Amino acid sequence: MPPSVSQLGAAVCQVHCILLLCHGRMQPYEILIEDAYNSNFDIDIRGIPDIGHLAHKNCAAVLDFLRARYMEDLIYTTADPLLIATNPFRDLQNTGPQWIQKYHASTSPEPPKEPHVFQIARTALERLHSFDSSQTIIVSGESGAGKTEATKQLMAFLAYVKNERKGNIRIQEAVMAANPILEAFGNAKTTRNNNSSRFGRFMQLQVGPEGGILYGFIRNFLLEKVRVTQLGVDERSYHVFYQLLSGASTSLKTTLHLLRPDEYVYLKGSGCYLCPNTDDAADFRVVGQTFEKMNFRPDEVNSIWSILSGILLLGNVEFQKKETEGVPDAADLTPEKKALLSQCCELLFIDSKIVEKEFLFNMRVIGNQEIQSPVSVSKAQVNRDSLAKALYEKLFDWIVLRLNQRIQPPRWFQIVIGLLDIFGFEVFQHNSLEQLLINITNEKLQKAFIQIVFSRVSA
Ligand SMILES: Nc1ncnc2c1ncn2[C@@H]1O[C@H](COP(=O)(O)OP(=O)(O)OP(=O)(O)O)[C@@H](O)[C@H]1O
Ligand SMILES: [Mg+2]
């Protein structure tokens, strides 16, 4: 059996290689005047790639050292056993196939000493096979730091094999191809990151001794469901909604009753429909092709689009007040909204009569009698939004399950490389339970980092 999400804490304690990221856009940092002396002023920033070798390691000195390296495009620095990566926000041409070869054991017995994300991957791979023990690489950092990009680079390294494999590389291609689907359904534009992961992802990869991904398994957790029904200013909902609305053919638009993004209550709150440097229609085609590659049947894909349309339309099922049974603001639906609800339910493949009853009434069973009492408009809205969020979450879980069916091994893994790409710390104007859970998870990881660094220092 795979470990449960709650067991991840244990996995964290067993890590051997760790990656830590900082945000490249440095914020002003205030320090006391007595800390401002740059005690590392005469060091060769290229000659010292590890913070541990600095003569002075106070906070100001370390930050200045990282800044100085960043200005020279040296975005990786170690704090052994951690790797700190600062986001360059531009292509430094340092992660392509040639760079993989520079660091890969099969092509480079003596890899460069300069820290790199590929150095971490190489160490994990070597330890995986020489100790016959699973390795986990934790990618942590605030939102927009570059965790997901780093995870993709790590996967590219693990997928590399020097000699064309004779065996079947379809699984490896499928593992890599899962990314566009996961990002379409689990990522969104936020004010910090145009492609922010709104879920945690733990990937388990079986990697051959010479490299190459043989099997994989994706474990998703803590999807930010509230984004489906509520958006902050300048933020978007999940990419896939905009991809469907802009990329669907005219006939699909008609069949699914698709509207413009600004006609959906769930999307128009933020006033933001476009994502910079993103072509939603082109991405829709990529996601469609990826579904095909991953063996999703055409009827399954059509059902996915239909459910997405139904979820969006649910937000437009608005209630009106009526006084009944002593409730002054009891929720009710006009005939027009009832028709809309039944259209939604058709798209969602559920019974509209049952849904209407669940939206509008509290049901209690007394003895063998079912008693229904009307609910207020605000309670009916909560019922409706809860359904939209739960449906989206179930859809996401089902997609991950189907992806896993394509990439998982016939019997459970013996040893794996784990890659943890979680959402970064975040503080919004309105923070929900989801932000609390996200930040607690980050705090736990931070604690693990500190313990690992200090146990190394004191050892
Ligand atoms: N190594 C890199 N080289 C160039 N650009 C990068 C690199 N890493 C990240 N970026 C840029 O920064 C953006 C944000 O990175 P990414 O999505 O990986 O952040 P994240 O840490 O996963 O954030 P979140 O917690 O919001 O998911 C990317 O879309 C890309 O434009
Ligand atoms: Mg991310």
Mark whether 243 and 213 lie in a shared domain. Answer: no
Which of the two residues, 171 and 169, has the higher pLDDT score?
A: 171
Atom of ligand 1 minimally distant from the CA of 139: 21
Q: Which residues contact 144 (CB under 8 A, 6 or more apart)?
A: 23, 87, 192, 193, 196, 424
Ligand 1 binding residues, C-beta < 6 A: 87-91, 141, 143-149, 193, 195-197, 423-424
In a domain, 180, yes or no: yes
Q: Which ligand is nearest to the CA of 146?
A: 1
Mutate to test the pocket of ligand 1, among 149, 179, 428, 435 (most ligand atoms within 8 A of CB): 149
Mark whether 360 and 297 lie in a shared domain. Answer: no
In a domain, 164, yes or no: yes
Mark whether 165 and 273 lie in a shared domain. Answer: no
Mark whether 207 and 267 lie in a shared domain. Answer: no
Mark whether 327 and 308 lie in a shared domain. Answer: no
Instruction: Note the pLDDT of residue 26.
Output: 60
Q: Which of 8-12, 99-103, 155-159 has the lowest mean pLDDT?
A: 8-12
Q: How far apart are CA 413 and CA 392, in angstroms?
A: 30
Atom of ligand 1 minimally distant from the CA of 95: 1
Mark whether 256 and 172 lie in a shared domain. Answer: no
Atom of ligand 1 minimally distant from the CA of 194: 29
For 338-378, write each residue's pLDDT tens digit. Answer: 999 999 999 999 999 999 999 999 988 888 888 889 999 99
List, as ranges, residues with CB under 5 A of the ion ligand 2: 147-148, 197
Q: Which residue's C-alpha comes closest to atom 5 of ligand 1? A: 89
pLDDT of 435 > 70? The answer is: yes
Q: How far apart are CA 283 and CA 287, in angstroms?
A: 6
In a domain, 336, yes or no: yes
Number of domains in the chain: 3
Q: Which of 6-20, 358-372, 375-389, 425-439 has the lowest mean pLDDT?
A: 6-20
Cα 207–Cα 209–Cα 213 angle in degrees, nearest 5: 20
* Chain position carrying tokens 């990529």: 286
Q: What is the DSSP string of 247-282?
A: HS-HHHHHHTT---GGG-HHHHTT-----TT--HHH
Q: Tell me the average pLDDT of the chain.
A: 88
List active site positions: 143-144, 148, 193, 196-197, 424, 426
Q: Which ligand is nearest to the CA of 152?
A: 1
* Token code pair at residue 43: 């060091």
Q: Which ligand is nearest to the CA of 438?
A: 1
In a domain, 293, yes or no: yes
**What's the CA-to-centroid distance between 193 and ligand 1, angstroms?**
8
Mark whether 97 and 194 lie in a shared domain. Answer: yes
Mutate to test the pocket of ligand 1, among 83, 84, 90, 148 (most ligand atoms within 8 A of CB): 148
pLDDT of 249 > 60? The answer is: yes
For 52-61, write each residue's pLDDT tens digit. Answer: 899 888 887 8
Q: How confident is the model at residue 25 (pLDDT cuts 50, 70, 90)?
A: low
Beta-strand pair 17-22/82-86: parallel
Beta-strand pair 135-140/76-79: unpaired
For 93-126, write each residue's pLDDT tens digit. Answer: 999 999 999 999 999 999 999 999 999 999 999 9
For 270-321, write each residue's pLDDT tens digit. Answer: 889 999 999 999 999 999 999 999 999 999 999 999 999 999 999 999 999 9
Mark whether 123 and 240 lie in a shared domain. Answer: no
Give the CATH number for residue 32.
Answer: 3.40.850.10
In a domain, 428, yes or no: yes
For 172-207, write each residue's pLDDT tens digit. Answer: 888 998 999 999 999 999 988 999 999 999 999 999
Give the CATH number for residue 379.
Answer: 1.20.120.720
Of the chain, the end-to-end C-alpha distance in Å amounts to 34
Domain residue limits at 240:
235-313
Q: How far apart are CA 333 and CA 134, in angstroms?
A: 56
Mark whether 252 and 174 lie in a shared domain. Answer: no
Q: Which residue's C-alpha comes closest to atom 8 of ligand 1? A: 146
